[in-house]
């Protein structure tokens, strides 16, 4: 019985190492794609095309950050939402907000997220932050983003995303971000409510099952 437990523990450790190596390689491949897109961006002069390239780069980087977190974590089944969102939001602000100072506040009690859920969650926040910077803070030099995520005792999670920008509706050509937010929310069996006012923009997500 003792020998069987030792063998099982050894097998689990080997699988964990293998899975971490896979995440590491996927992250490296995504970073190669990002580098190639950045190189191509230098040859692009049309502003609309540049915008599309930047969006693709940031979506790719968001996924790379996921796999980096999965590689660094002690457990492949436990991902802390706050510790993941902080570097993701910081990177997005650095990429998009060239001449903008954005204050951020992230509060979360969600300590466990399933690996299958983290990709759509990451891409939702990628779109939210980029929308705030492009459509909320476009005529400003400062801005504020607040994120609150609370999970109740039954596992339901409410996520509130707010900015204090002056919302400007995107053109039809650039509305892909909003469509992606809706699509990824549905993928997680959640709902999303949007509120726009002079005080800023607010998104309220409700996920009625464990993420």
Write down the pLDDT at residue 193: 93
Low-confidence ranges of the chain (pLDDT < 50): 172
Q: What is the pLDDT of residue 72?
A: 65
Return the pLDDT at 76: 55
3-state helix, strand, coil split of the chain in percent (to 5) is: 55, 20, 25
Residue 14: its pLDDT value, please? 59
Residue 145 confidence (pLDDT): 95
How confident is the model at residue 209, as a pLDDT? 78
pLDDT at 75: 57
CA distance 111 to 168: 34
Q: Can you tell me the distance from the alpha carbon of 204 to that of 169, in angstroms, rounded to the nearest whole number? A: 18
Chain-centroid distance of CA 82 in Å reads: 11
CA nearest neighbour of 203 among 176, 167, 174: 167
* Model pLDDT for residues 129-155, shown as the tens digit of each residue: 888 888 888 788 899 999 999 999 888
pLDDT of amino acid 204: 96
pLDDT, position 15:
63
């Amino acid at each position: 019985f003792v020998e069987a437990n030792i063998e099982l523990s050894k097998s689990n450790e080997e699988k964990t190492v293998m899975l971490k190596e896979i995440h590491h390689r996927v992250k490296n491949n995504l970073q190669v794609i990002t580098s190639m897109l950045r190189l191509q961006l230098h040859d692009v002069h049309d502003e609309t095309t540049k915008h599309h390239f930047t969006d693709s780069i940031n979506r790719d980087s968001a996924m790379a950050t996921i796999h980096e977190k999965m590689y660094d974590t002690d457990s492949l089944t436990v991902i802390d939402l706050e510790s993941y969102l902080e570097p993701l939001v910081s990177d997005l602000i650095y990429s998009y907000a060239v001449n903008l100072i954005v204050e951020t506040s992230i509060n979360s009690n969600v300590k466990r997220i399933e690996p299958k859920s983290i990709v759509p969650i990451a891409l939702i926040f990628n779109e939210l932050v980029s929308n705030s910077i492009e459509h909320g803070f476009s005529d400003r030099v400062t801005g504020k983003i607040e994120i609150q995520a609370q999970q109740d005792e039954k596992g339901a999670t409410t996520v509130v995303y707010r900015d204090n920008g002056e919302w400007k509706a995107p053109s039809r050509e650039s509305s892909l971000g909003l469509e992606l937010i809706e699509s990824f929310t549905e993928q997680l069996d959640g709902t999303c409510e949007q509120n726009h006012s002079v005080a800023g923009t607010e998104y309220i997500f409700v996920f009625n099952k464990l993420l």
